[in-house]
Chains A and B, each alone.
Chain A
């Protein structure tokens, strides 16, 4: 069987290779996408990202990659956002300066600053509580429920729409959205590609339909 193809959008040099390797591990061929291009041959588009929201949006606009993403999302194809790549899918963020995001999801990205959190910049492992309907497969839910995944962030999605929340986590007393999902778009605040075997298992299960 021919391997499905995943395109990885390159907006920051950080952790492109890790995502590439993790996708290859779960069975994809990968290509790096540096500029606006035809994505018809892609089975999955991945938006990773480490860094600041406004800089990333500037890069997406300057390179026209924003168009690639918009078209892809409008066509209801498989899309994965990771870390900043999840945040960029929202309407806006106040990181450094008020910046419009891709706007696939409503609501805003906010700083931990004004909330009762344990760490304003969180680096490390944190539990994820998955919604019962996040996985099609009950066994997968049992396997990964409340397991720890690797997070690096100072901002979070203040998501008000229960329907798109796929999972949540705590930072101190703040309960925040760590997974969003709508149609074929799934996005994680944490890094599944850096979350050990459970991370790989999660990547495997959210892309499983592509391999059918």
Chain B
């Protein structure tokens, strides 16, 4: 099986943002610029997530997706605040290949069933945000703001019964921290999943991605901070005028001492005999 490397871009008000534990957002720049760079470096897929959409009850990514599809010719997944068939249609018309749904799936299972029927299962992807407390995993909605009293592994089984084509699991504990992937989570989840499963949260170095591919059966790894900060630093070093937002955090602290690009990651995985594109 060819493993996929996926970049996730969190978007707020048309800017690429990144935070810790889905909180404390920092503006990094224009998503058009970052996605073009990732396409040029052979990314396999890109996720755009509207991180405030659920909160404001709307997804603002249609026009962004439309613009991005001018220069990104790999699959695009769009998520955040997608609540009904009309929302899905709007996103697909504007160039997305799949939508990812979290909050609405929990509140309205018929919506998911209908969406699968209308757009095909491969178009509908479920995004699960999970937090581990005292060894038990619970799901969250609204970008990690609201706890839902459902066990993560029960939910993984249930969404497959709804007919969806793919599951992305974000570990809230590890996301944005650089702790590496939560191997136990993905090991258990991939045993329960008959459909493709993507791991998101915690990749700090290429070895982390290798670990999740070699120890679990996930189909792809989703990386955000490591790619973003790597490119951000490159722009900073070149004093690129496209740069926006505060740059002090990169100069002053060592939160992300190891940054890696898509090329480095793919070369590393190839050397470790992981089959990738």
Contact = CB atoms under 8 A, between A and B. Distances in A.
B165 interface: yes
Contacts of B69: 17-18, 21
A33 interface: no
B75 A121 contact: no
B120 A123 contact: no
Nearest to A127: B2
Contacts of A193: 73
A196 B93 contact: no
Interface in A92-138: 118-119, 121, 123-127
B123 A121 contact: no
A123 B165 contact: yes
B195 A121 contact: yes
B42 A196 contact: yes
With a 10 A CB-CB cut-off, give which of B69, B123, B277 has the most chain A CB atoms.
B277
Contacts of B122: 50, 121, 123, 152
B1 interface: yes
A17 B94 contact: yes
A123 B121 CA distance: 11
Contact of A150 (B39, B74, B123, B219): B74
A194 interface: yes
B252 interface: no
Given A50-B123, A121-B122, A126-B2, A22 B73 contact: yes
A20 to B, nearest CB: 9
Given A13-B93, A17-B95, A51 B120 contact: yes
Nearest to A25: B73
A52 B89 CA distance: 17
B175 interface: no
B70 interface: yes
Contact of A194 (B74, B92, B123, B196): B74
A47 B141 CA distance: 39
A143 B75 CA distance: 22
Contacts of A196: 39, 42, 44, 73-74, 277
Contacts of A125: 2, 4, 44, 277
Given A17-B93, A194-B97, A121 B121 contact: yes
Contacts of A13: 89, 92-93
B129 interface: no
A206 interface: no
Interface in A191-212: 193-197, 199-200
Interface string A159-203: 000000000000000000000000000000000011111011000
A79 B159 CA distance: 39
Contacts of B2: 124-127, 148
A118 B1 contact: yes
A15 interface: yes
B267 to A, nearest CB: 16
- 4 closest A-B pairs by CB: A17-B95, A148-B277, A125-B2, A125-B277
Interface of A: 13-18, 21-22, 25, 50-52, 118-119, 121, 123-127, 148, 150, 152, 193-197, 199-200
Given A121-B165, A123-B122, A152-B122, 16 more contacts: A14-B92, A15-B92, A17-B66, A17-B94, A21-B95, A50-B123, A51-B119, A121-B121, A123-B219, A124-B1, A124-B2, A148-B277, A195-B73, A196-B44, A197-B42, A200-B73
21 contacts: A13-B93, A14-B92, A15-B97, A17-B69, A22-B73, A50-B120, A50-B122, A50-B123, A51-B119, A51-B120, A52-B120, A118-B1, A123-B196, A125-B2, A127-B2, A150-B75, A193-B73, A194-B75, A194-B97, A195-B73, A196-B73
